[in-house]
């Protein structure tokens, strides 16, 4: 797909991977809307990169419906959804509280479903569209402390496969990106330490791959792409 003048919606676009994806798509010629819950941070990013901001919580159905209305009112159509919004909580099972677990599932699973559902309504009607789900290598294996986050990414992987099976006949490409460790503010927000090093993946590396899978000719698509650092050093 030639991204020139295509319309993309990137959730969680204020910081980290989401912001980098939005910047990459804009550089390729797309028109981009970004969502985020923090209005000040969202609007600062939107001004800096030239995106359209929509303050919204993807786990809130009314916010999701309003997001699509605003995007369609602003741009008139939609070609791409990048389901990037996500958060993490990492605790041993014996310490996992219900509120934390439900908060992760609400954003990473329910929010992705709500955004995907509304995009699919548009894409099925126009017989074309592109959904990129930002998963993780956490969708491929479990680990201690991962009850909430890894469960959410396993679920996202399952939804991606279901959507792909449903939507291919409508010429809709559903793709999944699995980053391994990326240097963002995700770790600090999730409450664990992250050692930075130039050998580790950066947000721009993941954004590059999102743009690459979208730019492939529409007759084919990359179903899933896993990205590792070559030789990361802690």
CATH of the domain at 96: 3.40.50.720
Question: pLDDT over 90 for what percent of the chain?
Answer: 94
Total structural domains within the chain: 1
Quote the CA–CA distance of 193 and 91 in Å, as a whole number: 14
Domain-embedded: residue 2: no
What local confidence, expressed as pLDDT, does residue 189 receive? 78
Quote the CA–CA distance of 28 and 3 in Å, as a whole number: 6
Digit-coded pLDDT (tens) for 81-117: 999 999 999 999 999 999 999 999 999 999 999 999 9
| Token duo for residue 172 | 């809709």
Q: Is 177 strand, coil or helix?
A: strand
Domain-embedded: residue 186: yes
224 pLDDT band, cuts 50/70/90, is very high
What local confidence, expressed as pLDDT, does residue 196 receive? 87
Q: Who contacts 210 (Cβ-Cβ below 8 Å, separation ≥6)?
A: 21, 24, 25, 82, 132, 134, 177
What local confidence, expressed as pLDDT, does residue 135 receive? 96
Neighbouring C-alpha atoms within 13 Å toward the C-beta of 28:
24
CB 159 within 8 A of CB 113: yes
Domain-embedded: residue 233: no
pLDDT surpassing 80 at residue 12: yes
CA 77 → CA 32, 116, 166, distances in Å?
Answer: 11, 15, 21
What local confidence, expressed as pLDDT, does residue 161 receive? 98
Quote the CA–CA distance of 138 and 75 in Å, as a whole number: 35
CA 195 → CA 181, 183, 189, 203, distances in Å?
Answer: 10, 8, 14, 15
Quote the CA–CA distance of 25 and 7 in Å, as a whole number: 9
Domain-embedded: residue 232: no
| Token duo for residue 143 | 């680990």
Domain-embedded: residue 234: no
Domain-embedded: residue 134: yes
Give the structural domain span for 78.
7-227
Q: Which residues are catalytic?
A: 149
Q: Is 34 strand, coil or helix?
A: strand
What local confidence, expressed as pLDDT, does residue 192 receive? 74
Selected residue with higher pLDDT from 193 and 31 = 31
Digit-coded pLDDT (tens) for 146-192: 999 999 999 999 999 999 999 999 999 999 999 999 988 887 777 77
Domain-embedded: residue 182: yes
The whole-number average pLDDT for the span 119-130 is 98
């Amino acid at each position: 797909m030639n991204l020139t003048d295509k319309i993309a919606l990137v959730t969680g676009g204020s910081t980290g991977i989401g912001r980098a994806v939005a910047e990459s798509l804009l550089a390729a010629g797309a028109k981009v809307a970004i969502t985020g819950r923090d209005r000040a941070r969202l609007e600062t990013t939107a001004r800096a990169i030239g995106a359209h901001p929509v303050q919204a919580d993807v786990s809130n159905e009314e916010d999701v419906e309003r997001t699509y209305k605003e995007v369609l009112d602003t741009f008139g159509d939609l070609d791409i959804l990048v389901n990037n919004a996500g958060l993490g909580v990492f605790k041993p099972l014996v310490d996992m509280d219900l509120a934390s677990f439900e908060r992760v599932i609400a954003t990473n699973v329910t929010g992705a479903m709500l955004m995907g559902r509304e995009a699919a309504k548009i894409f099925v009607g126009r017989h074309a569209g592109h959904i990129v789900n930002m998963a993780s290598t956490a969708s491929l294996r479990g680990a201690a402390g991962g009850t909430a986050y890894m469960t959410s990414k396993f679920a996202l992987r399952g939804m991606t496969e279901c959507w792909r099976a449903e939507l291919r006949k409508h010429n809709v490409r559903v793709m999944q990106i699995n980053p391994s460790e990326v240097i963002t503010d995700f770790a600090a927000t999730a409450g664990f330490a992250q050692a930075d090093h130039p050998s580790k993946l950066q947000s721009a590396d993941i954004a590059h791959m999102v743009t690459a899978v979208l730019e492939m000719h529409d007759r084919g698509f990359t179903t899933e792409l896993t990205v590792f650092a070559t030789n990361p050093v802690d």
